[in-house]
Structure 1
Amino acid sequence: MPDREIEINGGVVVYEFVGPEDGEIVVLTPGGRFGKDAGGLHELADALADGGKRVLLWDRPNCGKSDVQLYGRSESHMRAETLGLMLQALGVEQVIAAGGSGGARDSIIFAMRWPRLVRKLALWSIVGGTFSTMSLAQVYVLDELRVVRAKGIEGVLEMSGAAGGWADAIAANPRNRDRLLALGSEQFERVMNRWLDAFVPKPNEPIPGVSDWEFEQIKVPTLIIRGGEKDYDHPKRTSMEVHALIEGSRLIEPPWPEDAWERAVAASLAGTGDLFGPWVKAAPVLLEFFAEP
């Protein structure tokens, strides 16, 4: 299906549907600042579509071809707000929210903020713990703060990164240059300072920016795929903590090898594979969960 566009909160969001028009909608959300066309995503979307689902793939703000947006308590809270408003604008009454890595965090917050829009929740590769959380502070915020303080917003325009950067956002969508310039150095720094708080490890936050008590808001059937034994970016412990905090959730063994993430990172860096390539292996367990009453 061709890309579609919709304006949400003054910014364009790019999205597409994959699968039969009469299928139940599954919103599939990846991690990083990666867009919907990142390698591995369409393979999983196609597998879910073959199972009768209609998959919504979307470029979250600051990802892919969508417009840059900077507001909210954290970047994930902003994305969750965007998704809820987008689904309302599209006339979608309810979805299954599914996501991995940063997309798991986005999906969790979406389910908390828009409970009436969510029928089920599926999560994997959940970020948490000291190393993972502090690593993300570096990936998403600390370099931005260093650059904007040293070179202003003009320096930010030139930033690129392994998880997606502002120069990448401009290359995919030239409007983003003017949007960032209009935002300005002072406001960009202000937002980054606020977003940084989510990545300061806190004892009562199993995932960045979300406190223990907030998980009681999730009342829908939830499937959690356990983190790999040596996956330091998405620790086994964090998936178990989230399972303990979401009442009635189900924790299952990963359908990929314990070191699948490490292998995928190496393959992606070497140009021999995709970061999200292993995710298609989850299609059978996801479809089974989706089909349950």
Structure 2
Amino acid sequence: MEINGGNVVHEILGESGELIVLTPGGRFSKDIEGLRPLAEALVDGGRRVLLWDRPNTGASDVQFFGATESHMRAATLKGLLTELGEGPCVLAGGSGGARDSMLTAMLYPELATKLVVWNIVGGVFGSFALGAFYALPSIQAVQAKGIEGLFDLPEWQERVAANPANADRLRALDRDEFLALMLRWLNAYVSKPGQTIPGVDDLDFTNIRVPTLIIRGGKDDWYHPKRTSLEVSCLIEGSVVIDPPWPEDAWERATEDRAAGRVDRYNMFDTWVQAAPSILKFLDE
């Protein structure tokens, strides 16, 4: 479905019940291992679940606009739900998907009935690490070789492999405009007073007025600090915080296994299905 000038790949699981928009983190697609088991568990609980490839993920078109990448995703989700004739609905997501979900609830409060978030990114290390991973390589590649430099990067090679039309979309980018936008997106990850999560002013949390469940980050998780979860809970009035249903060090162990090539043993999102009972209980209350 074409949204804001780009095709968005999506699917809805389940036949009836309230709709949950389920969003993963990073630039991972809706088909990342570990996400579908959670979606299926929520469907078994009587809900429908929308899975979608956000712009720059999976087989959707690459797109570049907005104050931050999450602002772009929120605008895309609004357009997608409008075209589908859906909403308001439950917004749920983890890691970057948590930020996308929260920002959607802030910018388009009419779309949300409830909000469920986990693995919220924050802190100096988590924010800088994301900027270094998602923005710096593209900036440096284009500085060195122009737009063609993007084709040297695995993440854009993957987007072209999943959707060949993305090659032309990338080549159509203006070098200077792309660099200006990526610098803006990079700046969002620079920790600033009054921004608990990257690129979002704390004052904007007052726009979230729906029941909210926060599954806090692990106590030693540098990417999704426990502290950030607790700070977000202070910013969303009436929000409920629960301990993670997975081990406190789940993300660290998954990171180690992924770095060692043991992706068959412990994927980063394999534990997410364990949140299904808590999510369903919250939605039933």
Structure 1 length normalisation: TM-score?
0.94
Structure 1: unaligned runs, 5 residues or longer: 1-5
> What's 1:228 paired with?
218
Query: Which SS does the other structure have where 1:148 is aligned?
Result: helix
**Matches of residues 269-288 of structure 1 in structure 2 within 5 Å?**
269=259, 270-272=262-264, 273-288=266-281
Moved beyond 3 Å, runs of 4+: none
1:190 equivalent among 180, 192, 212:
180
2:81 equivalent among 87, 92, 95:
87
Moved more, 97-106 or 263-272: 263-272
Amino acid at match of 1:172: A
- Give the distance between the partners of 1:16 and 1:89, measured in 2 at CA: 13
**Matches of residues 133-172 of structure 1 in structure 2 within 5 Å?**
133-160=127-154, 165-172=155-162
How many residues are paired up?
A: 282
Query: Which SS does the other structure have where 1:157 is aligned?
Result: helix
- Give the distance between the partners of 1:27 and 1:174, measured in 2 at CA: 27
Amino acid at match of 1:196: L
Query: Which SS does the other structure have where 2:8 is aligned?
Result: strand
How far does the alpha carbon of each residue in 1:82-136 deviate from its partner, in whole angstroms, 9 at most, with x for none? Answer: 0011101110131100000000000000001110110000000000011100111
Structure 2: unaligned runs, 5 residues or longer: none
- Give the distance between the partners of 1:93 and 1:285, measured in 2 at CA: 22
Moved more, 199-208 or 261-270: 261-270
Query: Which SS does the other structure have where 1:183 is aligned?
Result: coil
- Give the distance between the partners of 1:107 and 1:93, measured in 2 at CA: 14
> What's 1:108 paired with?
102
Amino acid at match of 2:263: G
**Matches of residues 258-269 of structure 1 in structure 2 within 5 Å?**
258-269=248-259
Q: What is the CA-CA distance between 1:268 and the residue it aligns to?
A: 3.2
Query: Which SS does the other structure have where 1:274 is aligned?
Result: coil
Q: What is the CA-CA distance between 1:271 and the residue it aligns to?
A: 2.2
> What's 1:73 paired with?
67
1:48 equivalent among 39, 42, 49:
42
- Give the distance between the partners of 2:77 and 2:221, measured in 1 at CA: 28
Amino acid at match of 1:225: I
> What's 1:64 paired with?
58
How far does the alpha carbon of each residue in 1:194-232 deviate from its partner, in whole angstroms, 9 at most, with x for none? Answer: 111211110210000011111011000000011101100
- Give the distance between the partners of 1:276 and 1:253, measured in 2 at CA: 17
- Give the distance between the partners of 1:103 and 1:7, measured in 2 at CA: 21
How far does the alpha carbon of each residue in 1:246-290 deviate from its partner, in whole angstroms, 9 at most, with x for none? Answer: 000001111011001112223334222322111000000000011
> What's 1:3 paired with?
none
2:5 equivalent among 1, 10, 14:
10
Work out the percentage of aligned pairs sharing the same amino acid.
57
- Give the distance between the partners of 2:252 and 2:49, measured in 1 at CA: 27
1:28 equivalent among 13, 22, 31:
22
Query: Which SS does the other structure have where 1:28 is aligned?
Result: strand
Q: What is the CA-CA distance between 1:62 and the residue it aligns to?
A: 0.2
- Give the distance between the partners of 1:93 and 1:100, measured in 2 at CA: 20
| Contact kept? 1:264, 1:277, Cα under 8 Å | no
2:243 equivalent among 242, 248, 253:
253
